[in-house]
A and B are shown apart, each in its own frame.
Chain A
Amino acid sequence: MNMKNYFNNINNKIKSIPSSVKGSIENFKNKTPDEKISYISNALLNNAMYIIIFIAVITIAIIEPSFLSVASIVNIISLTAAKLPIALGIGGAIVLSGTDISAGRAVGLTAVITASLLQSTDYMNKMFPNLPTLPIIVVILAVIATGALIGAVNGFFVAKFRLHPFIVTLSTQLVIFGAILLYLQIGSNGGQTLSGLDDSYINFISGTLFRINGISVPKYVLYSVIITIIMWFVWNKTIFGKNMFAVGSNEDAARVSGVNVFKTIVLVFMLAGALYGITGFIESARIGSSASYTGLNYESDAIAACVIGGVSFVGGTGKIGGIVIGVLLLQIIFVGLNFISIDQNMLYIIKGAIILLACSIDMRKYLARR
């Protein structure tokens, strides 16, 4: 009896399938066997990343069920939130069919600056011993300005001298690293790690937003959500956003259409820099200390997340939602692999393989149109 109800239910559900889906099912039925196979294999390939992630999650959850506990999920979401701003910044550079490998170091520099300006007044090894407790907003604006300045330099060289962003940011990333090292030498600091951060700052970033089953969700998750929403509007609803996609899609056509290409490129990199500044500001408190290696290789995760999320290096395509998913998927994999205690060194190999796979699937769309 129960069984019968169950089947009836399913039947009803099938009946209530929207007509568009029904239409595509009908379409599918009308195809020849050959077409069916290629249709299915295409569908599988186009969604390969999601399928792999799904299988990975299931497998990890079976081996280690606590992977799907509240604590673990909150952890994944928090990590995602922390890495989102930098990815959203790099995403813009990739839409321009460029890249930005100075992002990690820019995060490092802004994290170090933040830490040095927000050490608690009674901390012994304070970098600026006589500095009073600064208002947080002043420091935020300072690091955003620092990031934007780095971006302005990157953008200027890309736009003015037609240099590939890879070359430009390869150079600036060295300059920034030097700046970090010099900065850490200031006063009596002598290159040490900066810690002993002010409580109000730590609380502003890592304090509890709300609790789920007693597990604290940190405040920076909220900031990340707000930034993502703002970026969605910037990309989709502003003249700047439309111009960015136009330049990424066809720079010549954009120029002829009256887009100020120079301004657009510089602004994209400045916006990216500002987001690195925000990332640095969050990272400093999230980790609790900042040193010369802070931010190292952040750009490679961010670029990978963008590509996995469908921001194509061909330029002119990409969605904010894709980047969010890309960052989330990467974090799921990293955390998941840690859960089943896979060798740390293996992580790099898996990461590399995932990026290659994602890029190959992405390029399929542009290849072989015969």
Chain B
Amino acid sequence: MTESPASTGLHPDPVEIPGAVVERIFEPTRPEEVGRIVREAANKGDGLLVFGGRTRLHQANPAREIRFGLCLRGLSGIDEFEPEEGVLHVAAGTRIREVREAVHAEGWALPLDPPGPSSTVGGTIASAAVGPRAQSFGRVADAILGLDLVGGDGVASRCGGRVVKNVTGYDLAKLYCGSFGTLGIVTGAWLRLHPKSAVRRVFVTQPGPGLVEFDRHRRWAGLASVSALVWREDPEAGSRQVTIELAGSEEGVRHDHAWLSDRAELVEVEPDEMDRIRDERAAKGPGPLALRVRVLGTECGAMVQRLLDSGLAVSVDPGPGTIHARGRLAHPEALLAIRESARESGGLAVFERLPDTWRRELDVFGLESGHAALHASLKARFDPGGILNPGRFEAGGDRDGV
């Protein structure tokens, strides 16, 4: 045994997460090594923190009994890319940016759009992170054709495949996606690509205040060539702006641009403006709080107003009904009230950044107590030793697991 966890030295760049600082970190370069490390950890019952680009490490519940870090950045690269087919196989630690550029060169687009320039494929899958283009790209799971995994017992397995249509067995990829690495470690993925748009143009416009105005823009988000529409508003700065990205064929973009120009004053900006807005969502501040709220489209305007009234700044994707809010609130109860209201509006609220003092009281995800038994049973079967990201994706006893 050449790589026992005990033999690992201190990592030059330790990871700080809510509840722990992890200094001993493995950085395997082959999937088989991941299996070996996990088996070893499982035998000893050592908790592992699994991570990639470190973009969303703060977006989970505090870790419990974590001994080692497992960094997947070493598993990197596009192993197979079939431009004829529009599918590729990529190692989990590969940066999204890298994949995006590689497929662009062949006329394809990667339908993964997570905030943060250092996001990796594995991290994006584990956190199911989407960006403003979710309305045209869909969910992360929609891009996944198949996954390579290492389970909590260190055994490698596969699910799905490389073809674009597949009902051969359970759709396990759906479970792994967004489970924050607690059911298995994604080491590689088959992804399906979208055709790259012939034209991409981005415009900003200054909307008026109020619900009516917001709903107007929500409807615009439904235009065929609108790939993303973001409404940003900061009550403290008194600023309000809408950014619209049009992408598609020349005719389609021209048509929608003309239609929009008749209804609003559009100012064209740099074509990568939407990427900037997206990555801004992964950056820290302003304020100690960041939350993501999802509600039904028809409820979105009212929720935005509520958040603004609380003094939070918002960055909203009205199409899918996603609101990113930041700032500060006086009490944790105010957050719980927002979550309750989001639930009543058909959705959910995830507390992506919290002041450390609030973490003990709040569950980042708002996991449903009704599913606690199923959740625990599934986790126990996929990770019998409970070593994969322990505590990170479960509601603790002292949190609001309602």
A and B bind: no
Query: B residues touching A (Cβ–Cβ < 8 Å)?
Result: none
Q: Write the residues of chain A forming the contact surface with B, with a CB cutoff of 8 angstroms.
A: none
